[in-house]
Chains A and B, each alone.
Chain A
Amino acid sequence: MKLIQSDAPHIRTKDSVRSIMLDVLLALVPAVAVATFFFGLYALFLCLFGAIVGELIEWFIVRILRKQKDFSFDLSAAVTGLLLAMNLPPTAPWWLLLIGLLVALGVAKHAFGGIGQNIFNPALVGRVFLLISFPTLMTKWTAPVRGFTRMPWDAMTSATALGVLKGSGFSEAIQRFSYVDLFFGNVGGCIGETSAFVLLLGFIYLLVRKRVNPVIPATYIGTVFGFASIMYLVNAERFGTPLFHILSGGLFLGALFMATDMVTSPMTLKGQAVFGIGCGAVTMIIRLFAGYPEGVSLAILLMNALVPLIDRAFKPKIFGEVKV
């Protein structure tokens, strides 16, 4: 028997990076299931492809390119891969996802030093890269096909709710997309973004497991709601209702699962509130005033860049520190 000498504390929580990432993956399962129902098995294939190939790419980068010996499958790349897949249209070809994964993991994550070091959310970097490089493929929206075995390309092409709002105004948009459809996901859009309901379910699971706190989603969605309310009073037909804004587009996916990414969000609750409010405001500015109907990805990436500043400005109060 050999006694080891080491530093206190001598016990550690059972939580690990892997257990956290596993919970995030589990939290996304309902959204993947609903996406499969609305868009068919190909959507499921893309999700699995993203998660599995993501993890393989990470292994390749760490073991072969960076020659590190201590690789462990911590599932963080699977989360990135799955989120990226969920941010693609249901008709996206598999090779598009592969390119996105390479950019997300190779550039956004490992060029910055790997897990924990990256400034920008890798999945969002991947998505925005694809949007810029392959605009047609990335905006080929289809209506839901409803049925597991049908394929997205069987469906009619369709616009997204925000696209219709922007193009034709609110009365047209709300006629084609009811609130109920928007809430449950019976609308066209990216694979994982359409159902606010299941995304919320997954997020509640993370809350219960104490993996996240609700500050970022609450401030983010709250700001979008508040901003949209003001604009609704200004011009209801042009800007739509607040409820329409929080249910459509990638807001729930973004606010619940992308903006809350630990690595790229602030460290204190106050900072997170500022971050959430910033995300909400930028999202609305892009949605309403820029040439592009959806602003979630860009808003979060922009706020990612401000995190170091936010962290410096909002520190916790040291216990017993005398007020000056």
Chain B
Amino acid sequence: MKLLTFKGGTHPPEKKELAKDKALLRMDPPQFVYVFLSNHAGAPAKPVVKENDTVKTGQIIGEPGGFISAYLHSPVTGVVRKIDKLYHPVQGRPMEAIVIERTSEDDWQFLDHSEWESLSKEQLLEVIKKAGIVGLGGAMFPTHVKLNPPAGKTIDTFIVNGAECEPYLTVDHRLMLEQAEDLVLGVKIVMKILGTKKAYIGVESNKMDAYEHLKRLCSDSSIEVVLLRTKYPQGAEKQLIYAITDRKVPVGGLPMDVGVVVQNVQTVIAIKRAVVDRKPLIERALTITGEAINNPMNVIARIGTTIQQLVDFAGGLKEDAEKLIMGGPMTGIAVNRLDLPILKGTSGITVLSHEAEPIKKPCIRCTKCVVSCPMGLQPYLLYLLGNKRKYDQAVEEGLMACIECGVCAYVCPSKIDHVRVIKLTKKVYQALRGGKK
């Protein structure tokens, strides 16, 4: 069978076997949850509760703070204890979070709308917005914005990203096996919103069981399940779109420029939950895995659960635990404390054990980073220019097209940290340019 793919990329050891056969377990809601007001890309939400308010599970506790922003709901039934700053792992600085103490079993406050079949496109978008759904693959971009492209952009294709190309992570795999019906219904809802006749679910070839299962479910619909080559970063939006539709998103452009919208598996399931079951987004599934965790597994946990609670649930850390990553090892964020809560976009906790420090060398021009870069960039050169502070030249060489996938740094025999420098160069360049204008 022909496997769809893109040019470049690499094959890190997958390590999916640690958790891929572990069915999703639901964790009891913790006694305390810590809900960041910035639980999405864009402007932080504005709190609509204050200390000592009682809140129900699913009750709105934050309202969008701008156009690109999202609603926030209480993950538990209890009392707001305080609104305080806490280190935000994605933003990298202290940010406001609402701390809620759970006082009883869930007393749900459901979304309030009529049967989904009778809802218009606009009403469906409003439901998704009210449910606080954001991209659960990690980007946390507000879903109602992404599903509502500006006038003039026609969307003809909807793609569900079931590649899950990050090593170690298996949560999308489990969802495609265990909640496939919800996923398919979710796809139909999104197709109604976008008005597309065609939808694809792209699955990597290392998840054949999920592929077969979905294929059976979709055999008589306009949803096509396609098999992708197992390769990192097969799940990067641009690479996924190219593999499936042969369309190239222009540099600096968005998927909608080529008529495509992409959503992650879990986001689509969350849409179904909101629209059909009237549940706002207060929990998510994630993988707790890695060599240094005692019992790797896939769990469903409330947003705002701390890493400590998740780690305990998975049997605790091993002695040689050295690095704890929110997300997968290729793009995740390493944190050095366990009291931080998970966000809407936290797809996994990966704990790696101690490894010998690799020997760093100067670039030996082996070309590995160049031939592997999925964006056709020259990472060694961007690294060089970034270090020399030649920002304009770096931009000319395609700096801004970098998707920060980490492939270059992964493949480099000299262990050069391209991605760190590239990210920094982008930031500095933007700051400089912002200052001039």
Which of A1, A8, A263 is the one whose CB lies under 8 Å from B365?
A263
Q: How far is the CA of A17 from the CA of B358 in the complex (A)?
A: 11
Contacts of B93 in A (CB 8 A): none
A4 lies within 8 A of B401 (CB): no
Chain A residue with Cβ nearest B370? A267
Neighbour of B319 across the interface among A1, A17, A265, CB < 8 A:
A1
Interface flag for B334 (CB, 8 Å) = yes
The interface-forming segment of A86-94, A114-122, A226-234 is: A114-122
A147 and B249 CA atoms in complex are apart in Å by 64
Instruction: State which residues 312-355 of B face A: CB under 8 Å.
Output: 317, 319, 321-325, 329-337, 350, 352
Instruction: Check A262–B364 contact: CB distance below 8 A.
Output: yes
B413 sits at the interface (CB 8 A) = yes
Does B201 sit at the interface, judged by CB under 8 A? no
- Residues of B near A262 (CB, < 8 A) are 364-367
Within B195-211, the residues touching A (CB, 8 Å) are: none
Q: Which of A1, A74, A265, A316 contacts B361 (CB 8 A)?
A: A74
The docked-state distance in angstroms from the alpha carbon of A304 to that of B63 is: 62
Tell which of B253, B330, B361, B415 has the most Cβ of chain A within 10 Å.
B361
Binds A, one of B175-183, B275-283, B404-412: B404-412
Query: Which residues of chain A are within 8 angstroms of B377 by Cβ–Cβ distance?
Result: 316, 318
Given A3-B322, A116-B364: A316 touches B378 (CB 8 Å cut-off): yes
CA distance A15 to B414 in the complex (A): 8
**Residue A95, interface by CB 8 Å:** no
Q: A4-B323, A7-B419, A116-B361 are in contact. Are A319 and B375 (CB under 8 A)?
A: yes
Q: Given contacts A8-B333, A116-B364, is CB(A320)–CB(B370) below 8 Å?
A: no
> B293 CB to closest chain A CB, in angstroms?
13
Q: How large is the interface on A (under 10, 10 to 19, 20 to 34, 35 or more residues)?
A: 35 or more
Q: Are A267 and B367 in contact (CB under 8 A)?
A: yes
Q: Which of A269, A315, A320 contacts B401 (CB 8 A)?
A: A320
Q: Is residue A168 within 8 Å, beta carbon to beta carbon, of the partner chain? A: no
The 8 A CB mask of A12-48 against B (1 = contact, 0 = none) is: 1101111110000000000000000000000000000
Q: Nearest Cβ in chain B — how far from A140, in angstroms?
A: 35
Q: List, in ascending order, chain A residues with CB within 8 A of B7's CB.
A: 319
The answer to whether B413 touches A20 (Cβ under 8 A) is: yes
Judge whether B419 and A8 touch: CB under 8 Å: yes
Q: A5-B335, A10-B325, A17-B361 are in contact. Are A320 and B248 (CB under 8 A)?
A: yes
Distance in Å: Cβ of B415 to nearest Cβ of chain A: 6
Q: Are A7 and B367 in contact (CB under 8 A)?
A: no
**B247 to A, closest residue via Cβ:** A320
Main secondary structure of the interface of A (DSSP, over half): loop
For residue B78, CB closer than 8 A to chain A, the reply is no
A9 to B330, CA, bound (A): 4
Which B-chain residue is minimally distant from A268 (CB atoms)?
Answer: B370
* CB atoms of B365 and A116 under 8 A apart: yes
Are A269 and B419 touching (Cβ within 8 A)?
Answer: no
Chain A: CB-nearest residue to B253: A320
A72 lies within 8 A of chain B by Cβ: yes
Residues in B whose Cβ lies below 8 Å from that of A235: none
Tell me how far the C-beta of A27 lies from the nearest C-beta in chain B, rounded to whole angstroms: 15
Point out the residues of chain B lying under 8 angstroms from A4, CB to CB: 322-323, 334, 336
CB-defined contacts of B376 to chain A, threshold 8 Å: 316-319, 321
| A12 near B366: Cβ-Cβ < 8 Å | no
A11 close to B12 (CB less than 8 A): yes
Partner of A3, one of B319, B336, B358: B336
Are B323 and A320 in contact (CB-based, < 8 A)? no
Known: A9-B330, A9-B409. A320 touches B249 (CB 8 A): yes
**Are B361 and A318 in contact (CB-based, < 8 A)?**
no
Q: B26 at the A/B interface (Cβ < 8 Å)?
A: no
Most chain B beta-carbon neighbours within 10 Å: one of A72, A269, A319: A319
Residue of A nearest to B320 (CB): A1
A64 CB-CB contact with B under 8 Å: no
A269/B358 contact (C-beta < 8 A), A5-B336, A322-B250 known: no
A322 to B251, CA, bound (A): 7
Indicate if the CB atoms of A7 and B417 lie closer than 8 Å.
Answer: yes
Q: How far is the CA of A114 from the CA of B414 in the complex (A)?
A: 14
Q: How far is the CA of A64 from the CA of B325 in the complex (A)?
A: 41
B contact residues around A265 at 8 Å (CB): 365
Given the contacts A10-B352, A320-B238, A322-B251, A19 and B413 also touching, CB distance less than 8 Å? yes
CB-defined contacts of A263 to chain B, threshold 8 Å: 364-365
B354 to chain A, nearest CB (A): 9
Knowing A3-B335, A8-B331, say if A20 contacts B366 (CB, 8 Å): yes
Would B410 and A13 count as touching, CB distance under 8 A? yes
Cβ contact of B321, chosen from A3, A269, A322, cutoff 8 A: A3
The distance in angstroms between the C-alpha atoms of A3 and B368, with both chains bound, is: 30
Is A136 interfacial (CB-CB < 8 Å)?
no
Query: Is B380's beta carbon under 8 Å from chain A?
Result: yes
**Distance from A208 Cβ to chain B, minimum over Cβ atoms (Å):** 16
Given known A-B contacts A7-B417, A8-B330, A115-B362, A318 and B251 have beta carbons under 8 A apart: yes
**B1 CB within 8 Å of chain A:** no
Asked if A6 is at the interface of the complex by the 8 Å CB criterion, the answer is yes
Determine whether B359 belongs to the interface, using a CB cutoff of 8 Å to chain A: yes
Q: Which of A1, A20, A264, A322 contacts B317 (CB 8 A)?
A: A1
Residues of chain B contacted by A16 (CB below 8 angstroms): 358-359, 361, 413-415
B374 interfacial contact with A, CB 8 Å? yes
Contact indicator B410/A11 (Cβ below 8 Å): yes
Residues in A whose Cβ lies below 8 Å from that of B432: none
User: What is the distance, in angstroms, from B386's C-beta to the closest C-beta of chain A?
Assistant: 13
Given contacts A12-B410, A20-B364, A320-B249, 19 further A-B contacts (CB under 8 A): A1-B317, A3-B335, A3-B337, A4-B323, A5-B335, A8-B332, A8-B419, A9-B329, A9-B406, A9-B409, A12-B358, A12-B412, A17-B413, A115-B364, A264-B365, A267-B367, A267-B380, A318-B375, A319-B7
Which residue numbers of A lie inside 8 Å of B, CB to CB?
A: 1-13, 15-20, 72, 74, 76, 114-117, 262-265, 267-269, 315-322
What 6 pairs between A and B have smallest CB-CB spacing? A9-B406, A116-B362, A10-B329, A7-B420, A3-B336, A320-B248
| 16 A-B pairs with C-beta separation under 8 A | A1-B317, A1-B319, A4-B334, A7-B417, A8-B333, A8-B419, A9-B419, A12-B358, A12-B409, A12-B410, A12-B412, A13-B12, A15-B411, A262-B366, A268-B370, A318-B376
